[in-house]
Amino acid sequence: MPSPGELPDTFFLRTFGCQMNEHDSERICGLLGQLGLARVERADDAGMLVYNTCSIREKADTRLLGHLGEARRLKRLDPRRLVVVAGCLAQSRQTEFFAEFPFVDVLVGPQSLHELPLLLNERIESGRQAGAFEESTSRWSAELPRARRDGPLAWVQIMTGCSNYCSYCIVPYVRGPEASRPLRDIRREVAELAEQGVKELTLLGQNVNAYGNERASGAGGDFPALLEELAGIDGVERIRFMTSHPKDVSSRLIQALAELEPVCEHVHLPVQSGSDRILRAMNRGYERDDYLRLVGRLREAVPGLALTTDLIVAFPGETEAEFADTLSLMDEVGFDAAFTFVYSPRSQTAAAALPGRAAPQVAEERMGRLVERIQTHAARRNQELVGTRVEVMVEGRSRQSGEVAMGRTRTFKTVNFPGEPHPGDLVEVVIDEATSTSLRGRRAALVTER
């Protein structure tokens, strides 16, 4: 433990929420590492407790409150411990959070991560709580030092924020407007990652298709141009990206998916609802038929394409018939997988003021039916792969017992197969069994060794 007025030498970090937050956490670890702090696995052993928070749904807030109870307890045991709350919830609550949780030392919003060392310093020097909440990106967290998980996979942030204002969503308020990172900076980062042995990239942004489209963007290219540039870098075997907004999928993007070898045959394309009235109330900017036509064009151009999606049930005013439209859309598309969420009102957003909130039992009942429908299609899609050979990038050991390797297909499906795992190997696997969530097979050949 530190003496007063000093930085501690260890930190504990817990991350909530999406991949963007996981990626921001790599930067938080990098910054704290540079300050000389070592990461520890248990909160009890740490001189600093860091929570990188999410505010997309109310459940995320409630979970954080539980963890803050733990922080308060540990701080009582040693008042020199520092408590840092980073991320979207810090941004949405700002200084009112300090009053509510007086044991929190530093608050830092997602656009202000680079301020973390300064804020810690300020807290230690002045003894007062310190916070930073920039509203848009002035310095890319992607340019901060990073502590990356080992292995063949890496996240690369290509843009931040969102300017779509879907009526239910808090993201534009906490992560600011869409802003694209310059293409040449992304290219440099990817070339460095490839040199370190990274083979598979996941390009991250709230709406990656809008890359380079904002007014006065300094990106130097749009999303298809970025894909083309990155696909040409030596050592990059696979490129994934998320999330895509259906209204911004261009013909050139479809062409890039079809033609650029490293770009994987998977698109995560949140549809949210199958009802035109609900889509309008959500301010999504497309209708059910637009979405279906887009799916048709994508599947025609990219054989074997996997499609995954996000869905919200019980949006305010959703009727049984409107929910049935979502179910029938599941049948028409047949997704490979889907994330499902019960609508959660977020203050600041337009939908929070809408009447017609569903009773929790109604929402849960609809959710049950939706999940069942999704699983049926996911199982069928996976079953179609039984007997075929797929290319798998080995990621590590399976959670199953024994010598079982785990990897993913280009279509983002989890594959388990017997054998010692060598992360980064590309192997051909013959699929013997499938469930709605994973595939099982045996190794047929090694394509490339790490």
Chain positions contacting ligand SF4, by CB under 6 A: 162, 164-166, 169, 171-172, 206-207, 245
Give the shortest CB-415-to-ligand SF4 separation in angstroms. Answer: 29
172 binds, among ligand SF4, ligand 5AD, none (CB under 5 to 8 A by kind): ligand SF4
Give the shortest CB-29-to-ligand SF4 separation in angstroms. Answer: 25
Whether 17 and 51 have beta carbons less than 8 Å apart is answered as no
CB atoms within 10 A of CB 106: 25
CB atoms within 10 A of CB 150: 10
CA distance to 55, 67, 184, 398, per residue, from 64 (Å)? 10, 5, 37, 29
Give the shortest CB-57-to-ligand 5AD separation in angstroms. Answer: 5
341 binds, among ligand SF4, ligand 5AD, none (CB under 5 to 8 A by kind): ligand 5AD
Q: Give the dihedral sign, CA 309/180/296/272.
A: positive
Instruction: Please identify, using beta-carbon distances, which residue of 129 and 209 lies nearer to ligand SF4.
Output: 209
57 binds, among ligand SF4, ligand 5AD, none (CB under 5 to 8 A by kind): ligand 5AD
Nearest partner of 429 among 411, 150, 437, 377, judged by Cα: 411
What does the block give as tokens for 84? 């840092």
CA distance to 106, 185, 351, per residue, from 91 (Å)? 12, 26, 20
Whether 188 and 142 have beta carbons less than 8 Å apart is answered as no
343 binds, among ligand SF4, ligand 5AD, none (CB under 5 to 8 A by kind): ligand 5AD
> Helices 360-383 & 320-333, crossing angle to 10 degrees?
10
**Residue located via tokens 């044991």:** 103
Cross-strand pairs, 397: 405
Cross-strand pairs, 217: none
Could you give the CA distance from residue 321 to residue 88 in angstroms, rounded to a whole number?
A: 35
Instruction: Please identify, using beta-carbon distances, which residue of 207 and 273 lies nearer to ligand SF4.
Output: 207
Instruction: Please identify, using beta-carbon distances, which residue of 132 and 203 lies nearer to ligand 5AD.
Output: 203
Instruction: Please identify, using beta-carbon distances, which residue of 28 and 162 lies nearer to ligand SF4.
Output: 162
Cβ-proximal residues to 183 (8 Å cutoff; 6+ apart), any chain: 212, 219, 220, 221, 225, 226, 229
Give the shortest CB-168-to-ligand SF4 separation in angstroms. Answer: 7
Give the shortest CB-321-to-ligand SF4 separation in angstroms. Answer: 24
Give the shortest CB-309-to-ligand SF4 separation in angstroms. Answer: 12
281 binds, among ligand SF4, ligand 5AD, none (CB under 5 to 8 A by kind): none
344 binds, among ligand 5AD, ligand SF4, none (CB under 5 to 8 A by kind): ligand 5AD
Give the shortest CB-243-to-ligand SF4 separation in angstroms. Answer: 6
207 binds, among ligand 5AD, ligand SF4, none (CB under 5 to 8 A by kind): ligand SF4
Q: Binders of ligand 5AD: how many residues, by CB under 6 A?
A: 12
Cross-strand pairs, 394: 407
Instruction: Please identify, using beta-carbon distances, which residue of 8 and 172 lies nearer to ligand 5AD.
Output: 172
What's the length of the chain? Answer: 450
Q: Which of residues 305-364 bind ligand 5AD (CB under 6 A)?
A: 310, 312, 341, 343-344, 346
Q: Which of residues 32-61 bind ligand 5AD (CB under 6 A)?
A: 56-57
Helices (DSSP H) in 127-182: which residue ranges? 171-175
206 binds, among ligand 5AD, ligand SF4, none (CB under 5 to 8 A by kind): ligand SF4
Q: Considering the rule CB under 6 A, would residue 272 count as an interface residue with ligand 5AD?
A: yes
Q: Which of residues 142-171 bind ligand 5AD (CB under 6 A)?
A: 168-169
Give the shortest CB-172-to-ligand SF4 separation in angstroms. Answer: 5
Instruction: Please identify, using beta-carbon distances, which residue of 166 and 314 lies nearer to ligand SF4.
Output: 166
Could you give the CA distance from residue 128 to residue 356 in angstroms, rounded to a whole number?
A: 44
Could you give the CA distance from residue 24 to residue 110 in angstroms, rounded to a whole number?
A: 8
Instruction: Please identify, using beta-carbon distances, which residue of 34 and 347 lies nearer to ligand SF4.
Output: 347
**Residue located via tokens 């007014």:** 215
Whether 278 and 316 have beta carbons less than 8 Å apart is answered as no
358 binds, among ligand 5AD, ligand SF4, none (CB under 5 to 8 A by kind): none
Whether 208 and 244 have beta carbons less than 8 Å apart is answered as yes
What does the block give as tokens for 413? 């499906």
Contacts with ligand 5AD by CB under 6 A lie at: 56-57, 168-169, 270, 272, 310, 312, 341, 343-344, 346
